[in-house]
Amino acid sequence: MSKYIISILLLLAPIVSIAQDDDEDTNKPVTDTKGLHQLSIGIDIAQPITNAFSDNRTGYEAMIDYYFGKELYGVAEGGFGNATVDYTDLKYKSSNTFFRLGVNKSILVRLSDSDWDMGFIGIRYGLASIKRSQGTYTIVDDLFGNTTGTVPAKNFLGHWVEITGGMRLELFAGISAGWTIRGKFLMNAKAFKELSPSYVAGYGKGDKNSVFDYNFYLTYAIRWNKKKAAQPAPVAPAKE
């Protein structure tokens, strides 16, 4: 379902672009955005859909961003999740919380103070606190017999960098929807060498040094404008 929603937004993107082109004759791009402020809070609605179709993993994500001006947004994202490996010869569980910090830079031309549609690129730093339970394994050997063993439980950190891109379109006043695609690159692969988690919320497959992922956010924005009112011109004294 989330793929269909993303496809719809992709189809809407050219319409937004055409609408901007049509308005260029009558609307000059806004370059002075010092007084504009926006704080957006959102949830990833793609994750619950993915959870519903998965028997061995869950994840939940939320985000917040703040508009600094000049089409630059500071972004904080976070969430949690867990995973279960339950094979005949291998069993263990893992859980983690995570956060990501970074920026988005909108590359769409702003046509008015109330135009908050975004087409953006960005970068993130991600950090996850991971708990992996004791793992039990069985080595099947028809000649010498089966061998059962354990791998000790482990708590560790994972961190990575991301390159992001996406779109966000305002559907109603203050309510927007948009997708983010991510290329993620693990920075401490050695910590995952011994029985890596099958899934790390916020990152993806724990046994991969690089992964690609996406989110579909529904957001609500709080906005205010601190632009100072124009001061009246001084009145010249009357001539006698």
Q: Which residues have C-beta within 8 Å of that of residue 77, sequence separation ≥ 6?
A: 61, 62, 63, 64, 99, 100, 101, 124, 202
Q: Is residue 235 part of a domain?
A: no
To the question of pTM greater than 0.95 for the whole model, the response is no
Q: What is the pLDDT of residue 143?
A: 73
Average pLDDT score over the chain: 86
Range of the domain at 136: 2-225
Q: What is the pLDDT of residue 240?
A: 53
Residue 33 dihedral angles phi and psi, to the nearest 5°:
-120, 20
* 103: pLDDT strictly greater than 90: yes
* 231: pLDDT strictly greater than 90: no
Total number of domains in the chain: 1
Q: Is residue 234 part of a domain?
A: no
Q: What is the pLDDT of residue 21?
A: 47
For 47-60, how does the pLDDT look when each residue is reduced to its tens digit (9 = 90+)? 999 999 999 999 99
Q: Is residue 233 part of a domain?
A: no
* 100: pLDDT strictly greater than 60: yes
**CATH number for the domain including 59?**
2.40.160.20
Q: Is residue 239 part of a domain?
A: no
Q: Tell me the two tokens of residue 130.
A: 């991971």
For 169-179, how does the pLDDT look when each residue is reduced to its tens digit (9 = 90+)? 999 999 999 99
Q: Is residue 238 part of a domain?
A: no
Q: What is the pLDDT of residue 62?
A: 98
Q: Is residue 236 part of a domain?
A: no
Q: What is the pLDDT of residue 148?
A: 87
How far is Cα 205 from Cα 196, in angstroms, rounded to an integer?
9
Reading phi first (left if > 0) and then psi (alpha if -120 to 50, else beta), residue 145 is in left
- Residue 228: band (very low, low, confident or very high) from pLDDT cuts 50, 70, 90: low
Q: Which residues have C-beta within 8 Å of that of residue 11, sequence separation ≥ 6?
A: none
Q: Is residue 92 part of a domain?
A: yes
Q: What is the pLDDT of residue 25?
A: 44
- Residue 17: band (very low, low, confident or very high) from pLDDT cuts 50, 70, 90: very low
Q: Is residue 166 part of a domain?
A: yes
Average the pLDDT over 134-149 and give the result. 83
